[in-house]
C-alpha cells in the first residue's frame, strides 16, 4: 500500500501553475528566480502579437506572431487559452503544456487574469498564484522605471491593475513581490507544497 502511494507520487504528471499579476509587478523576474532554483520546473513559452523588445529572444521569452498568424492558430485550436490584452493577443500553446506535464515537469504559465481563469476552467487541477506589488505607488514606480511604455500605456496598465486585483479571491495563493529573493522563496514554497499534495481518488 505504502509503496503504491509513493510510486504514484513519484510518477505523477507535472503540475500546471498559473502566475498572474499586474503589468510591471515583476512576474518575469520572480519566475526566472524560481526556474534557476528548481530544476523540476519549466516555463511554457507563450505566443504574442506585440512587438519584441531589444532584450527579448524569440522562442525563449515569447513566440512573436503577426495578428494574421495568431488568428489562424486560434482557428486551428492551437491554444489552451488566449486573450486580447493591452491591444495585443497572447496565447498558450496546448501541446507545449501537455508535453512538459507528461514528462513530470511542473509547468509555469505567466498569463493575465482572464487567461488564468480560462485555464482553470479547462484544467481543474491547475494551481493559480497571484503576484502583487506592496502598493499601487510602487507598481507605478516600477512601470515608469522600466522606461518602455508611453504615458498613455502606463495609465492604462495602472487602471487594468485595479480590475485585475479585484479578482484575487478567485486565485488560490497570493505572493507579495516586495523583494525579489523573498518572492521567489514564497513561490518556490507553493510549488513544493503542490508536489506533496495527496491526489484524492475519484
Closest CA relative to residue 49, chosen from 85, 16, 89, 102:
89
Q: Are strands 79-85 and 106-110 parallel, antiparallel or unpaired?
A: unpaired
> What's the CA gap between 18 and 101, in Å, rounded?
13
> What's the CA gap between 196 and 39, in Å, rounded?
16
Q: Is residue 8 part of a domain?
A: yes
> What's the CA gap between 31 and 29, in Å, rounded?
5
Supply the pLDDT for residue 55. Answer: 84
Whether the Cβ atoms of residue 128 and residue 116 lie closer than 8 Å to each other: yes
Residue scoring higher pLDDT (200 or 78): 78
Can you give the CATH number for the domain in which 176 is found?
Answer: 3.40.50.300
Tell whether the model's pLDDT for residue 7 goes beyond 60.
no
Supply the pLDDT for residue 202. Answer: 45
Task: Give the chain's domain count.
Answer: 1
Q: Is residue 200 part of a domain?
A: no
Q: Is residue 98 part of a domain?
A: yes
Closest CA relative to residue 176, chosen from 111, 137, 146, 131:
131
Q: Is residue 32 part of a domain?
A: yes
Residue scoring higher pLDDT (52 or 5): 52
pLDDT by residue (tens digit) across 101-148? 999 999 999 988 888 999 999 999 999 999 999 998 998 898 898 887
pLDDT by residue (tens digit) across 150-170? 888 888 888 888 989 999 999
Q: Is residue 202 part of a domain?
A: no
Q: Is residue 186 part of a domain?
A: yes
Residue scoring higher pLDDT (10 or 37): 37
Q: Is residue 88 part of a domain?
A: yes
Identify the domain containing residue 127 by its residue range: 2-195
Q: Is residue 201 part of a domain?
A: no
Amino acid at each position: 500500500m505504502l509503496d503504491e502511494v509513493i510510486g504514484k507520487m513519484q510518477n505523477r504528471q507535472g503540475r500546471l501553475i498559473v502566475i498572474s499579476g499586474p503589468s510591471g509587478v515583476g512576474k518575469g523576474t520572480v519566475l526566472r528566480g524560481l526556474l534557476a532554483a528548481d530544476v523540476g520546473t519549466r516555463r511554457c513559452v507563450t505566443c504574442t502579437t506585440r512587438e519584441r523588445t531589444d532584450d527579448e529572444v524569440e522562442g525563449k521569452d515569447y513566440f512573436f506572431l503577426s495578428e494574421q498568424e495568431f488568428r489562424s492558430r486560434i482557428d486551428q485550436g492551437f491554444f489552451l487559452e488566449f486573450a486580447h490584452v493591452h491591444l495585443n493577443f497572447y496565447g498558450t500553446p496546448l501541446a507545449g503544456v501537455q508535453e512538459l506535464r507528461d514528462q513530470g515537469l511542473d509547468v509555469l504559465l505567466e498569463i493575465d487574469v482572464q487567461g488564468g481563469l480560462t485555464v482553470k476552467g479547462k484544467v481543474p487541477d491547475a494551481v493559480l498564484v497571484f503576484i502583487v506589488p506592496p502598493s499601487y505607488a510602487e507598481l507605478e514606480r516600477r512601470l515608469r522605471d522600466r522606461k518602455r511604455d508611453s504615458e498613455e500605456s502606463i495609465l492604462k496598465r495602472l487602471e487594468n491593475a485595479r480590475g485585475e486585483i479585484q479578482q484575487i479571491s478567485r486565485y488560490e495563493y497570493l505572493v507579495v513581490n516586495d523583494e525579489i529573493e523573498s518572492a521567489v522563496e514564497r513561490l518556490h514554497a507553493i510549488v513544493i507544497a503542490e508536489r506533496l499534495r495527496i491526489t484524492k481518488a475519484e
